[in-house]
Amino acid sequence: MLQIINKLKKSFGQDNIESRQVAKERLQLVLTHDRISTSNNFIEKFKADIKNAVLEYVEISDNDIDVRIEKSEENGAIISKLVANIPIKNIKGRI
Amino acid sequence: MGEVIVITSGKGGVGKTTTTANLATGLALAGKKVAALDLDIGLRNLDIVLGLENKIVYDLVDVVRGNCDYNKALIKDKRYEGLYLLPSSQIKDKTSVSPEEIKQLCNVLRKQFDYILIDCPAGIEQGFKNAIAGADKSIIVSTPEVSSVRDSDRVIGLLEAEGKTDNMLIINRYNVKLVNNRDMLSAEDVNDILMLDLIGIVPDDEGIIKSSNKGEPIISDNKLFISKIYQNIVRRIMGEDVDFISPEEEKLSIIGKLKRLLEINPLKKGRNYVTNNKQA
């Protein structure tokens, strides 16, 4: 009976936030951070690969590479965001 | 040569010991020779769930310390041909054995048994490292709760870091009513996140408590729906390709039936996912 009442409540929008969806979104977000913070070399490897890709096009200095994964809010939802701050020293040739 | 499978989860209380007891019994019922190892040192429980608590003379630490031969410590289950238990020690602490010692023990047991199932303690410390050391494969037991899924993910990361990538997933304590109500993560949701080879969805069933009260694994009661679910998991472990039975097939509520008519059955997708995953 309680289930039917809950169902009705849901269909009439009184309780339309499905906790299942909330759980999934929260998990996906927290696991992105867990996986990065518990992996020994994830960020280091990621940095190295990004650096190599960037070096194809521009000159940069080794010490200036700042690559992070941050939480940020976009349109009311919390998302994970890759933030890279890499000052360019020079463009390689005329592409 | 036998196969060593560790049953692990990170989080405590999700049903590792119950799962180990049922799968070990099921493999024995399927004609295999099975050793169930309780690696939860200091918190021995597989013995009582299996109903063998009064038969213990020697334990795991005695074997590792060389106080007795492993054959002497193994308890033969008289009810199920081929089922043996190596109980954990209740008094010594987790540091009294090392991963290397467990690995050696597994390699000895491999020669004599088809399957060696290891009941891993909760946590990711020494006891976990001991339990996974000798394993060829892992079964992750997760409930559809955020805390359990998160801990499972962590454990999978640790296993992979050790080069252990053959990991299977059992979703335990599945509450179909809650899933249909969209108030519990579905099997598909859980495996979207964990991305393992799903080998079973075990419903939340009060029969489990009764069976551990009696020390008789529920898989041996053929009349029960949950026993069929465990039997299918056993067959998948043995390498058979078995179709998934939806936990809903047992008792469908009126709303469940309506939902099915309207095709909002979350498990259907789940089953496809499993097939796709296997092909991939």
CB count within 10 Å of CB A81 equals 12
State pLDDT tens for residues B69-120: 999 999 999 999 999 999 999 987 667 899 999 999 999 999 999 999 999 9
pLDDT greater than 90 at residue B257: no
Task: Label the pairing between strands B3-8 and B115-119.
Answer: parallel
Using beta carbons and an 8 Å cutoff, which residues of A are at the interface with B?
3-4, 6-7, 10, 18-21, 23-24, 26-28, 30-31, 34-35, 38-40
Residue of B nearest to A27 (CA): B146
CB B57 within 8 A of CB B109: no
Q: Are B153 and A23 within 8 A, CB to CB?
A: no
Residue A23 contacts residue B182 (beta carbons within 8 Å): no
Domain B3-279 falls in which CATH fold?
Rossmann fold (3.40.50)
Q: ipTM for the complex?
A: 0.77
- Cα B157 to chain centroid distance, Å, stands at 18
Given a cut of 70, whether residue A3 has pLDDT beyond it is no
DSSP run (H or E) holding A67:
strand A66-74
Provide the pLDDT confidence category of residue B267 given band limits of 50, 70 and 90.
very low
- Domain boundaries in chain A? 41-95
Interface test with B, best of A24, A29, A40 (most B CBs within 10 A): A24
Q: What is the pLDDT of residues A25-76, one digit of tens each?
A: 999 999 988 888 887 678 888 888 998 999 999 999 877 788 888 888 888 8
Tell me if B255 and A35 make a contact (CB, 8 A cut-off).
no
Could you tell me if B119 and B217 are in contact, meaning their C-beta atoms sit under 8 angstroms apart? no
What one-character-per-residue DSSP string does B139-200 give? Answer: EEEE-SSHHHHHHHHHHHHHHHHTT---EEEEEEEE-HHHHHTT-S--HHHHHHHH--EEEE
Specify the amino acid at residue A34.
D
The string of DSSP letters for A50-62 reads HHHHHHTTEEE-G
Give residue B276's pLDDT. Answer: 36
Q: Is B183 on the interface with A (CB under 8 A)?
A: yes
User: Residue A11 has what pLDDT?
Assistant: 58
CA distance B280 to chain A (A): 22
Would you state the pLDDT for residue B264?
47
* Domain regions of chain B by residue span: 3-279
Q: What distance in Å separates the CA atoms of residue B270 and residue A71, rounded to the nearest whole number? A: 30
Give me the pLDDT at residue B255, please: 56
Average pLDDT, whole number, for chain B? 90
**What residues in B contact A39, CB-CB < 8 Å?**
157
Other beta carbons less than 10 A from residue B80's beta carbon:
19
Q: How many other CB atoms are there within 10 angstroms of residue A69's CB atom?
A: 16
Contacts of B255 in chain A (CB under 8 A): 3-4, 7
Task: Over range B214-225, report the average pLDDT.
Answer: 96
Closest alpha carbon to B39 in B101, B110, B108, B114: B101
Q: Which residue of A has its CA nearest to B148?
A: A27
Indicate the range of B33-37, B150-154, B178-182 predicted with least confidence: B178-182
Which residues are bridge partners to B8 per DSSP?
A: B140
- d(CA A79, CA A60) in angstroms, rounded, equals 29
Instruction: Please report the number of interchain residue pairs, chain A to chain B, with beta-carbon separation below 8 angstroms.
Output: 51
Chain A residues close to B196, C-beta within 8 Å: none
Of A18, A34, A40, nearest to B150 by CB-CB distance is: A34
